[in-house]
Structure formats: C-alpha cells, structure tokens
Amino acid sequence: MLRPTFVAICVCFTVSGCNIFQPPAGSVLEGTWTVTPEDPGDFEGVEYEAVFDSRGNLTEITATREDGATATLDTSDATTTLEGDQLTISIPRAGGASAFEGTLSEDQNTITGSLSQEVDLGDLEIVLPGGTITLERIEE
C-alpha cells in the first residue's frame, strides 16, 4: 500500500508542473558545437568547438589552429542557463568573466549571440564587447 505522504508528494509535483522525471531544460544543448566568430580578427583559421554535457552545462572549449595544434579550456566552473530559447553563459576568470548571451533556434541546432568580457578593476567594472558568435550543432 502506498503511503499518503508519497502520494501527496507525487500529486504536488504533477499539479505544480515540477516533474522530477523530465530531463533539465538545458539537456537540449548536449553535444559538440562549432563556434564561429563573425570577425575572427587575429584568430583567422582557428576552429573552435564547445562541448555541453547531458544537463546542458558548458564543460570545455577547444581551439585548433591550421597546423593542428590545439588548446582546451576547462569550463566546468561556467554557469550555463537556458530559459526558453535564451542562453546565457558566464565563464569566470581572473579579474572578471567572459559572458555569452544568445538565442537558440527553433530547430535547436544553432545559437546566435554576442560575447563580452567583464573586467573587474576593484571599484570599477568594465564590459568590453567581443562581437557576434554563432554555434552550430555537430551531428554525431
């Protein structure tokens, strides 16, 4: 026989719309994405990839030069938030953070947004724009 408390909790989750059995909203981001800056500047010819885990958290960004050399940034300390189609990522670093704000396409395969650099100088915080970036899902 089911206990009344268990039944009440299940009803509460179902009625309130909180379903613990559903995957997190960010899980639609899971996988590897190419990252393309609109204006690569001095980084022309560098290919970037971003990896999101099954919960939709950004876990790493890899840059690969034309000569094959790679560098991977561990972003496990990043904060990734997906609300509806709006994606926000903040990657803390010494003296500030890198921030991305973008929109997930209806087919959930493209994210377009802007990157900025937040610089903390004690009593003064400066936000430097970094330009437009597009992420495209890599089919695996």
- Where do the domains of the chain lie? 24-137
Q: Which fold has domain 24-137?
A: Lipocalin (2.40.128)
49 touches 138 (CB < 8 A): yes
pLDDT in tens, 36-88: 999 888 788 999 999 999 999 999 999 999 999 999 999 999 999 999 999 99
User: What are the phi and psi torsion angles at 100 (to 5°)?
Assistant: -125, 135
Q: How confident is residue 24, by pLDDT bands cut at 50, 70 and 90?
A: low
Residue with tokens 């395969």: 109
pTM for the structure as a whole? 0.77
Q: Helix, strand or coil for residue 63?
A: strand
Neighbours of 3 (CB within 10 A): 8
